[in-house]
Amino acid sequence: MTVTRIGVLATTLSVACSGPADRADIPPARLDRGTHVVLLGTGNPNANPERSGPATAVVVDGHAYLVDAGPGIVRRAAAAATRYNLDALLARNLDIVFITHLHSDHTLGLPALIFSPWVLDRDVPLRVYGPPGIVDMTDHLEAAWRLDVRNRIDGLQPTNPDGYKVDVHEIAPGEVYADRRVRVTAIPVPHGSWDHAFGYRFDTADRRIVISGDATPAESLVEACNGCDLLVHEVYSEAGWQQRSPEWQRYHAYAHTSSVALGRLAAEARPGLLVLYHQLAMGSTPEEIEAEVRAGGYRGPIAYGNDLDVY
């Protein structure tokens, strides 16, 4: 394993999908050019079969940059690859991920992202960027699946020598990655008792995209967006929260962003489009949660994200 410690994106397309689609629905070129966000998982710790664990793909000129690795990520990516005729999301092409924080709902898909694409012909290491602790996590994952790796390499199975490896980077706030397609900036956010949690901003030739990760209302995200094209933000329902026990109310207020508070935040951040994900609906409907966001003062465009939606 290579360990590198370093010190350290106007809505043009919206494909909100609610039903099945096939490769014929979207012409191949549509998502292969420019910058698009594919929601691979909009869920949270709840085992909702309609909402896979948190994972988002920022696809830039046909290359996928993943944010978080919730459970189900590789299969949701495969579903998106088929639905949108988008090779960038085939397992063998998944080669870089930015982790927001180390909560299990955001990382349970990491072993799948390390090992499954290797078996499916990825021949380069997975690049992983994340907060302090991500090296320890990937070291343990490598150890946990050591027998599997040996069995495949030493046995008859056709395989390659590098695809299971991890090139891991522990990051600090600021620019953490850049190539000819994208610059990625880690934004420090408050999230309960975590010492390190990040949102990410993606700056590309055509868009500026901010993804919150898990966070209480963060001025840092307002500043990072500041009229960005797309703000993908977590949310819990204010009305639903009021029905929870005092213990859960305390926790959610300490760790997450209420719908009304998100409305205030988005009014300041002025995104071209606000996309809700990681929704903790707590019994409220999408329409009710959108109304709560409006009550916070946000008047701009809003979308209630679902798995496999494209923006």
Residues that bind Zn ion (CB under 5 A): 103, 105, 214
If you ran DSSP here, which 8-state letter would residue 258 be given?
A: B
Largest CA distance in the chain: 62
C-alpha separations of 256 from 7, 67, 225 in Å = 27, 18, 18
Asked if 162 and 154 touch (Cβ cutoff 8 Å), the reply is no
- The conformation of residue 15, written as its DSSP 8-state character, comes to B
To Zn ion, the closest distance from the beta carbon of 49 in angstroms equals 17
User: What's the min distance (Å) between Cβ of 19 and Zn ion?
Assistant: 27
**Sequence-separated (6 or more) residues with CB below 8 Å from residue 124:** 95, 162, 163
Nearer to Zn ion, 103 or 207 (CB): 103
Closer to Zn ion by Cβ: residue 1 or 253: 253
Quote the least distance from Cβ 105 to Zn ion, whole Å.
4
Which CB atom, from 125 or from 217, has the smaller least distance to Zn ion?
217
DSSP letter at 310 equals B
For residues 298, 301, 302, 303, the Cα torsion angle rounded to the nearest 10 degrees is: 180
Work out how close the CB of 299 gets to Zn ion at its nearest, in angstroms, rounded to a whole number: 28
If the CB atoms of residues 122 and 278 are measured against Zn ion, the closer one turns out to be: 278
- Directed axis angle between helix 110-119 and helix 134-144, to 10°? 50
Q: Based on CB atoms, which residue is closest to Zn ion, 100 or 284?
A: 100
Using DSSP, state whether 194 is helix, strand or coil.
Answer: coil
Shortest reach from residue 302's CB to Zn ion, in Å: 21
Q: Shortest gap between Cβ of 110 and Zn ion (angstroms)?
A: 14
Q: State which residue, 163 or 217, has the beta carbon closest to Zn ion.
A: 217
Half-sphere exposure of 212 (CA within 13 A, CB side): 30
Q: Are 290 and 267 in contact (CB under 8 A)?
A: no
The least CB distance from residue 280 to Zn ion, in Å, is 9
CA 257 – CA 237 distance, rounded (Å): 9
Compare residues 178 and 254 and give the one whose CB is closer to Zn ion. Answer: 254
